[in-house]
Copies of this chain bind each other. A is one copy, B any other.
Amino acid sequence: MRRRSLLAGGGVGLVGAALAAPAIAQSQPEIKWRMATSWPKSLDTIYGGAEYLAKRVAEMTDNKFQIRAFAGGEIVPALQVLDAVQNNTVEMGHTASYYFVGKDPTFGIDCTIPFGMNARQQNAWMTHGGGLDLLRNFFKDYNVYNVPAGDTGAQMGGWWRKEIKTVDDLKGIKFRIGSGTAGAILAKLGVVPQTIPGGDIYPALEKGTIDAAEWVGPYDDEKLGFYKVAKYYYTPGWWEGQAQLSAYINLGEWQKLPKSYQAILTAACADAEGWMIGKYDTDNVAAMRRLIAGGAQLRSFSKEILDACYKATQEVYAEYSANNPKWKAIYEPWRKFLDDEHQWFRVVEQPFDNYMLSVKKA
């Protein structure tokens, strides 16, 4: 209203209004970014989370800061999101850092590493445990500003054509697995890890070209139909006690953003984090029931197998620490933090959860 009276007031008012405008314009510039993701659109929780964060940014800026999400392969191949952001081919990406362990195993710690944290612990490490600073320092060398932007919770141990009970049963098993680190660990126990894109897993499993395959959890796995050709559904997916998804932002583009947009983008990522894990925790319930009704047989990895995998995991981590100073600089405080978390989670979270589940079972 005040503006209008200035307009009515004539020339001096007009100049005043016009002079005042640039500061406002600078603080809320119109920006359009492209966000390359590693996800097919069918993953409506992970890809949906990326879209959700973009929508939130738009809402918070009256559509002045627009981020458009693209599925993997649309403008950048799914597994080249890091390179695309690093080179500023796109301003930002949404991906799982463990896709890049081939460049450096340290990337895994930003997403998940076998026998690692659960979702609460990962959040604690990132928000207050020093994890985010350590990882930002690592990502800087890739010209990336990383922000946690989603989590799947604990994942399943995949679909197996035959039951496995002993470590011997693992020998020679051709297992499609997403985590390269877990693949290296399982290889120590005789498994032959396979890298196969999501869409090609079903036919390989059906033909018996592979013996087993893991993807995410009930809600996502159901869509790919694995239960029809490999009925044993194993738990827990010890290689992904949680999986944090990350927003990657080109460092130069990040630094050019107004402070308010930086804050908005960061808050949108935090919001997407709760949204995504809430959606998994909700949608997995009914999906699990449908899978069981469709013939899936739930199985637990035996203690013998878990213990052997745990031991092999520690060996792999010791090798990384001996050979890779970047890994060591992040893994060691990560390990210390996780050991601390276990001391605390044993005190009340575990007794509360276990009691509730025991009552329900009874």
- Bound complex: CA A60 to CA B278 (Å): 25
- Bound complex: CA A126 to CA B235 (Å): 27
A329 to chain B, nearest CB (A): 20
Q: Can you name the residue of chain B whose Cβ is closest to the Cβ of A279?
A: B128
Q: Is A202 an interface position by the 8 A CB rule?
A: no
Given A56-B263, A273-B274, A347-B235, the answer on whether A354 and B356 have CB atoms closer than 8 Å is no
Q: Is A4 an interface position by the 8 A CB rule?
A: yes
Q: Can you name the residue of chain B whose Cβ is closest to the Cβ of A362?
A: B307
The 0/1 profile, CB within 8 Å of B marked 1, for residues 74-113 of chain A is 0000000000000000000000000000000000000000
Partner pick for A28 among B13, B24, B235, B355, CB 8 A cutoff:
B24
A360 to chain B, nearest CB (A): 4
A124 in contact with B260 (CB, 8 Å): no
A75 to chain B, nearest CB (A): 27
Total residues of chain A contacting the partner, CB 8 A: 95
The 0/1 profile, CB within 8 Å of B marked 1, for residues 153-164 of chain A is 111100000000
Q: Is A180 an interface position by the 8 A CB rule?
A: no
Stretch at the interface among A36-44, A187-195, A280-288: A280-288
Q: Is A18 an interface position by the 8 A CB rule?
A: yes
- Bound complex: CA A163 to CA B82 (Å): 57
Q: Which residues of chain B are within 8 angstroms of A347 by Cβ–Cβ distance?
A: 156, 235, 288, 298
A21 in contact with B24 (CB, 8 Å): yes
Q: Which residues of chain B are within 8 angstroms of A340 by Cβ–Cβ distance?
A: 285-286
Q: Can you name the residue of chain B whose Cβ is closest to the Cβ of A262?
A: B59
B123 in contact with A235 (CB, 8 Å): no
Q: Which residues of chain B are within 8 angstroms of A274 by Cβ–Cβ distance?
A: 123, 127, 270, 273-274
A141-158 CB contacts (< 8 Å) to partner B? 153-156
Top 3 nearest A-B pairs by Cβ distance?
Answer: A127-B278, A124-B281, A59-B263
Enumerate 20 A-B pairs (CB-CB under 8 Å) in ascending A order: A14-B14, A27-B62, A59-B259, A61-B260, A120-B281, A123-B281, A124-B279, A127-B275, A129-B278, A153-B348, A156-B348, A236-B351, A236-B352, A236-B355, A267-B268, A270-B270, A339-B360, A342-B356, A346-B357, A354-B354
